[in-house]
Structure 1
Amino acid sequence: MRRINALLEEYGESHQNKTNKLIHWICVPLIFFSIVGLIWSIPSEPLRRILNIDWVYINWASLILVLVVIYYLSISSLLAIGMLLFSALCLILANRLSGLEIAPLWLISLGIFVVAWIGQFYGHKVEGKKPSFFKDIQFLLIGPAWLMHFIYKKLGIPY
């Protein structure tokens, strides 16, 4: 069995309940985005100075997402494309939200993070199983890929 299939299957074992699945469809993307927003909020001027590039998308969030996409490439090149697109969407959204100045991006992201994790833990309480990342930390990255694989299946795209 391919490694990606084994990871998705193992992740899916603790995500059988319909309510828990629905909660994951909402909360996993929100958590992913909120982490991007939190990392985006770290001052990036030193990084831009080192690289000698003054562009808003040269920041710590972009750098971390490059590493995340490399991880996804190591388990499935086609899923990595979807995750790259979702990551880019998160970066664009973080940039737009930070420009609105309704509240600091880190504060918005922290609020989303807390509420989404409360939702996740509620979903697992309903499921009656612990979150997968308690067993293996890499499942924090498998959660978004698990959702992406359902999108791929619906579109008939092999992963």
Structure 2
Amino acid sequence: MSKLERLLSQYAAYHLDRKNVLTHFVGIPLIVFSIMCLTARAGLMISGFELTLALLLIIASVIYYLSLDKIFGLIMLLVFAVTYPLALMIAKMSLMSWLIWSVGIFVVGWIIQFIGHYYEKKKPAFMDDVIGLAIGPLFVLAEFVFLLGFRKELEQRMLTEARRQRAEMDAKALHTAHP
């Protein structure tokens, strides 16, 4: 099993309910975008080029995603390339407008996430493993690619392993609740 499959399977074990996955299609992009907006305001000019914290986070994320999967990494690069200029526009607003938009989008994204986990009846994956925060956007991208009919073998391997892991989690929770 590749590292990509392992990480997607671990994340998917917390996201087997379709309603939860659907909420993640909205919640995770909102959260990622809000983080871009919040960090796009911090930066410095280097030879006429504005290097922002958001841009550094994007570069680090894309390098990480490319190390896991070239196709997904390139698609994430494209998504970030399209959304980063929008984040910069929000970052250039007045302090109050920037905060209201950035924090507001962040809060709405998390509310949507927690609604999804209500349906799932499982806590978010990052509560057990912080890497879930980085894998969440990749999971949403993978789910979108699967919905389009691509990479079905990867989807099947991921789901098989996720269901196995979920059964172990449920058995452990049952054992802990009834010693």
User: How many angstroms apart in 2 are the aligned matches of 1:82 and 1:120?
Assistant: 23
The residue aligned with 2:81 is: 88
Q: Provide the secondary structure at the position in 1 that maps to 2:49.
A: coil
Structure 1 residues 114 and 34 mapped into 2: Cα distance closer, same or farther (>3 Å)?
same
User: Residue type of the partner of 1:32?
Assistant: V
CA contact (8 A) 1:40 1:94 kept: yes
User: How many angstroms apart in 1 are the aligned matches of 2:54 and 2:14?
Assistant: 29
1:137 counterpart = 2:130: yes
Aligned residues: 152
1:41: how far off? 2.0
The residue aligned with 1:71 is: 64
Q: Note the residue ranges of structure 1 that are not aligned, 5 or more in a row.
A: none
Greater mean deviation of Cα atoms: 107-116 or 31-40: 107-116
Greater mean deviation of Cα atoms: 94-103 or 114-123: 94-103
The residue aligned with 1:24 is: 24
User: How many angstroms apart in 2 are the aligned matches of 1:9 and 1:72?
Assistant: 16
User: How many angstroms apart in 2 are the aligned matches of 1:141 and 1:24?
Assistant: 14
1:35-92 Cα shifts (integer Å, max 9, x gaps): 00000122x2xx31xxx32234x21111121111111122112211111111112211
Identical columns (%): 34
Structure 1 residues 24 and 128 mapped into 2: Cα distance closer, same or farther (>3 Å)?
same
Aligned CA-pair RMSD: 2.2
TM-score, length-normalised on structure 1?
0.84
Pick the aligned partner of 1:55 from 39, 49, 69.
Answer: 49
CA contact (8 A) 1:94 1:105 kept: no
The residue aligned with 1:39 is: 39
The structure whose Rg is larger is 2
1:157: how far off? 5.9
CA contact (8 A) 1:41 1:106 kept: no
1:105: how far off? 2.3
